[in-house]
Amino acid sequence: MKQRQEKKRETSFWKDFLALIKVGIVNSNAITTFTGIWLALYFNGKGFFANIDIVLFTVIGSSFIIAGSCAINNYYDRDIDHLMERTKERPTVTGKMNPLQALWIGLFLLIIGFVCMLMTTVTATIISLVGVITYVLLYTMWSKRLYTLNTIIGSISGAVPPLIGWAAIDANLNVIAWVLFLIMFIWQPPHFLALAMRRTKEYRAANIPMLPVVHGFEVTKRQIMVWIICLLPLPFYLYELGIGFLVLATALNIGWIAIGVKGFRNKDIEMKWATKMFVYSINYLTILFVSMVLFTIV
* Residue 236, pLDDT above cutoff 90: yes
Query: What local confidence, expressed as pLDDT, does residue 214 receive?
Result: 96
Q: Is residue 34 a contact partner of residue 61, using CB atoms and an 8 Å limit?
A: no
Q: What is the pTM of this model?
A: 0.93
Residue 170 has φ and ψ, to the nearest 5°, of -135, 100
**Exposed / middle / buried, residue 9 (Cβ in 10 Å: 0-12, 13-18, 19+):** exposed
Q: Which amino acid is at 172?
A: N
Nearest to 28 by CA among 62, 4, 2, 69: 62
* Residue 14, pLDDT above cutoff 60: yes
Q: Is residue 176 a contact partner of residue 213, using CB atoms and an 8 Å limit?
A: no
Handedness of CA 143, 107, 87, 34 (dihedral sign): positive
Rounded Cα–Cα distance for residues 285 and 291 (Å): 10
Q: What is the mean pLDDT of residues 201-227?
A: 95
Q: Which amino acid is at 50?
A: A
* Residue 127, pLDDT above cutoff 50: yes
What's the CATH number for 11-297?
Answer: 1.10.600
Query: What local confidence, expressed as pLDDT, does residue 4 receive?
Result: 43
Query: What local confidence, expressed as pLDDT, does residue 267 receive?
Result: 80
* Residue 207, pLDDT above cutoff 50: yes
Structure confidence by residue, pLDDT tens digits, 79-124:
999 888 888 889 999 989 999 999 999 999 999 999 999 999 999 9
Rounded Cα–Cα distance for residues 205 and 132 (Å): 27
Average pLDDT score, the chain: 94
Domain boundaries of the chain, sorted by first residue: 11-297
Rounded Cα–Cα distance for residues 188 and 195 (Å): 11
Q: What is the mean pLDDT of residues 128-149?
A: 97
More confident residue, 7 or 45: 45
* Residue 6, pLDDT above cutoff 50: no
Q: pLDDT grade, residue 268 (50/70/90)?
A: confident
Structure confidence by residue, pLDDT tens digits, 276-297:
999 999 999 999 999 999 999 9
How crowded is residue 99: how many other Cβ atoms within 10 Å of its Cβ? 16
Query: What local confidence, expressed as pLDDT, does residue 7 receive?
Result: 44
